[in-house]
Amino acid sequence: MELKQVSKSTWAVVDGSTFGNVGCIRIPNHIVVIDTGMTPGIAKEFHTRIQEDVGTPITEVILTHYHSDHVFGAQEFQQYPLIASIKMAELYPDLLEERWSPQSIEAMRKAYAETEPEFSQQLENLQIITPVNTFETSLILGENEEIQVTQTGGHTVGHSTVYFVPERILFAGDLIFCQQYPYAGDPTNNPQTWIQALEEILEMDIDTIVPGHGPLCDKAEIRLHLAYFRALEHWICSKIKLGAPLSEVQKDKETGPSPPYQLKAERRFEATIQRWYNFYSEIIH
């Protein structure tokens, strides 16, 4: 795991070792951590890296969204204030009863026992920590308002980004999958607010983007995502207006707009088609 210095006061792990990328920002009287990685073991290593390379004490831990590869490391950071948007935190009671119930986690542990033994073992003592420090639409940290946390939605309901104003760094969470096909198939995914959030980011003063997945990037990556999302939205909506059922759209997916990246595309591509079809069907009919 490499905790890479991104700018004078920001660091990030973007080498894939944490699954979802993680990072931190240091300003006077604050060390703010962004996301926690896929497992408590990964989070422990990340925590140690911060203590050795950035300093102490950590003052806030911001969770960009509820996906396991960003929040399953939270137990390692539970002594600090865990912060999330209200809309994200509101998902937890249902998640803990269904997708993250002890039975579901046990089933997940068994399913990964052979292919990902290390990950599977980590699930044995997993505690899921609900973020109790919440904000509605935005949160400002720092005496000079250096850190702006904004609830954008899009990728999931309650998704947030973290902008470090003085050094023009944006921690974009999963609004950006750099050099890989984005996952837009979450049941709470909202393509319209995702597109809107990307349009707003284009207007911001940003030098470097820490994406939720993949290497560091800049606004060129935003433009690539936007062009593809707009084309996909247009294509799916025109199919729906012609009365095409989901099965036909899925079958024809290769005739739609070309994804910007092929890497690990297939499953995410299929999930995206399905979610966007359902989302726009409700709006159009």
Q: Given the rule CB under 5 A, which residues bind Zn ion?
A: 67, 174
Nearer to Zn ion, 26 or 73 (CB): 73
Q: How far is the CB of 65 from Zn ion (least distance, A)?
A: 6
Instruction: Give dist(CA 68, CA 77) in Å, integer.
Output: 15
Q: How far is the CB of 129 from Zn ion (least distance, A)?
A: 18
Nearer to Zn ion, 67 or 219 (CB): 67
Per DSSP bridges, beta strands 30-34 and 60-62 are parallel
Q: How far is the CB of 111 from Zn ion (least distance, A)?
A: 19
Starting at the earlier edge strand, list the strands of the sheet with 160-164: 138-141, 147-151, 160-164, 169-177, 208-213
Nearer to Zn ion, 9 or 189 (CB): 189
Burial 62-86 (b: 16+ CB within 10 A, else e): bbbbbbbbbbbbbbbbeebebbbbe
Q: How far is the CB of 240 from Zn ion (least distance, A)?
A: 25
272: closest CA among 154, 158, 95, 161? 154
Instruction: Give dist(CA 181, CA 163) in Å, integer.
Output: 24
Residues 227/219, Cβ–Cβ less than 8 Å: no
Q: How far is the CB of 163 from Zn ion (least distance, A)?
A: 19
Q: What is the CA radius of gyration of the chain?
A: 19
Q: What single-letter DSSP state applies at residue 128?
A: P
Nearer to Zn ion, 47 or 155 (CB): 155
Instruction: Give dist(CA 116, CA 110) in Å, integer.
Output: 10
Amino acid 89 reads A
Q: Provide the residue count of the chain.
A: 285
Instruction: Give dist(CA 260, CA 222) in Å, integer.
Output: 12
User: Which residues are paired to 149 by β-bridges?
Assistant: 139, 162
| Structure tokens that stand for 281 in this block | 């069907």
Q: At a CB cut-off of 8 Å and minimum separation 6, what does 121 contact? A: none
Q: How far is the CB of 72 from Zn ion (least distance, A)?
A: 12
Nearer to Zn ion, 67 or 239 (CB): 67
Q: How far is the CB of 18 from Zn ion (least distance, A)?
A: 13
Nearer to Zn ion, 21 or 122 (CB): 21
Nearer to Zn ion, 17 or 59 (CB): 17
Nearer to Zn ion, 54 or 129 (CB): 129
Q: How far is the CB of 274 from Zn ion (least distance, A)?
A: 16
